[in-house]
A and B are shown apart, each in its own frame.
Chain A
Amino acid sequence: MKFLMSLFKMTCEDVYPLISEEMDRPLSFGARMRLKMHLAICHLCEAYRKQLETLRRLAQSLGEEDSKVNEEAVLNPDIKEKIQKAIKEKV
Chain B
Amino acid sequence: MNQESLEPEKWVENYADMLYRYCLIRVKDPDIAEELVQSTFFAALKSQHTFAGKSTEKTWLFGILKHKTMDYFRGARKNINLDISDSDTDSINFDSTGHMVPTPSNWNLNPENAAENNELAQVLKDCLNGLSEKFHRLFVLKEIEGLSSEEICKEFNVKPTNLWVMLHRARNQLKLCIESNWFSKE
Contacts and interface: CB of A to CB of B under 8 A. Distances in A.
Contacts of B174: 55
A28 to B, nearest CB: 14
Given A62-B144, A87-B45, 12 more contacts: A17-B168, A20-B167, A47-B106, A58-B117, A62-B124, A65-B62, A66-B18, A69-B125, A75-B16, A79-B34, A87-B11, A87-B12
A67 B121 contact: yes
Interface in B39-61: 41-42, 45, 58
A69 B25 contact: yes
Interface string B141-178: 01111100100000000001001100110011011001
Nearest to B59: A65
B100 A62 contact: no
A47 B118 contact: no
Contacts of A79: 34, 37-38
User: 4 closest Cβ contacts across the A-B interface?
Assistant: A63-B144, A61-B115, A11-B98, A20-B168
B25 A67 contact: yes
Given A61-B121, A67-B25, A90-B45, A24 B38 contact: no
Nearest to A59: B143
17 contacts: A20-B168, A20-B172, A25-B164, A54-B114, A55-B174, A57-B114, A59-B143, A61-B114, A62-B25, A63-B26, A63-B143, A65-B22, A68-B118, A71-B21, A75-B17, A79-B38, A83-B11
Q: A interface, by DSSP: helix, strand, loop or mixed?
A: helix
The size bracket of the interface on B is 35 or more
Interface string A50-91: 111111111111110111111101111001101110111011
A24 to B, nearest CB: 5
Contacts of A48: 100, 104, 175
Given A12-B98, A70-B21, A58 B34 contact: no
A86 B34 CA distance: 16
B20 to A, nearest CB: 4
A38 to B, nearest CB: 12
